[in-house]
Amino acid sequence: MPELPEVETIRCQLARKLPGEKIERVFANCPSLVFRGYPRKGMLAEEITGKKIVSVERRGKYLLLGLDRGLTLALHLGMSGTMLFRDKNAPRDRHCHLELFLKNFKLSFRDPRMFGRVALFKGQEFSLLPGLARLGPEPLSREFNPKWLAAKFQGRKAPVKSLLMDQRIAAGIGNIYSDEACFLARISPLRKAGRLKPEEISRLDAAIKKVLRESIAAIGCTFRDYRTSEGTLGGYQPRVYGREGRRCKRCPGTVVRKVIANRSSFFCPKCQR
């Protein structure tokens, strides 16, 4: 967390308020781990102060704030990161790594577990964040389709879930929505990806798009830490994720938990094959 729907929700909220705003002042906790890998982190506040925000985009799980003079401020929320609109005089807590002070409010990036990232780029030169540079297609785009999945799954012995969480294959999908998509498609996340039949791959593609659209409409899923930029909780209710030991919502089976790719995974062994 957060995954594509949560980051897209935040992007939409930021896009309603930020474009046209001038960054009047910046707090950047540059020794923080979220700035790791960015060689000019000590200059970040100076480089973006006075710049105008011209766009707010998303790529996978990354937020991209387009600034004037061709600059892009990239932020990855990690596992516990949030971007919050706050009063300019609101106190700053120890989990805050970056604050952008605008005319009537400030935008705060909090990340208690510090798995997030912050970096500033000229244009689209994202080489300092290899994960961003190597992202696969957006799951809701035309480029992401059964043909794409079939090509990436062909001959692979890795579990379906592992490949769905590979950002080079499906940008923005993580632990929750890989489980949800497998459940909706009636496919076990343990299945070897290369063994899926064409009709199963088509079902999986449709399931991915369905659960992502549902969650975006519900402003995401709050399983633990996630909050929108306005401080509200997500309304998406998982069909299978986090329901270990409870009855399956589709059949008389019981949801089980298995560790796949070092992540807790949930599925019904009775109806997911």
What is the tens place of the pLDDT at every residue in 61-77?
999 999 999 999 999 99
244 assigned to active site: no
161 assigned to active site: no
CA distance 225 to 60: 19
Model pLDDT for residues 146-176, shown as the tens digit of each residue: 999 999 999 999 999 999 999 999 999 999 9
**Catalytic: which of 86, 156, 263, 270?**
263
- What residues does 22 pair with on adjacent strands? 52
Instruction: Answer yes or no: is pLDDT of 125 > 90.
Output: no
Hey, what domains does the chain have and what are their CATH numbers?
4-133 (3.20.190.10), 146-267 (1.10.8.50)
Place 124 in a pLDDT band, splitting at 50, 70 and 90: low
Burial class of 262 by CB neighbour count within 10 A (0 to 12, 13 to 18, 19+): exposed
Model pLDDT for residues 191-223, shown as the tens digit of each residue: 999 999 999 999 999 999 999 999 999 999 976
pLDDT at 167: 96
**Catalytic: which of 3, 6, 138, 214?**
3
Whether 9 and 222 have beta carbons less than 8 Å apart is answered as no
**Catalytic: which of 11, 51, 58, 61?**
61
156 assigned to active site: no
Model pLDDT for residues 1-47, shown as the tens digit of each residue: 689 999 999 999 999 999 999 999 999 999 999 999 888 999 999 99
Global pTM reads 0.94
3 assigned to active site: yes
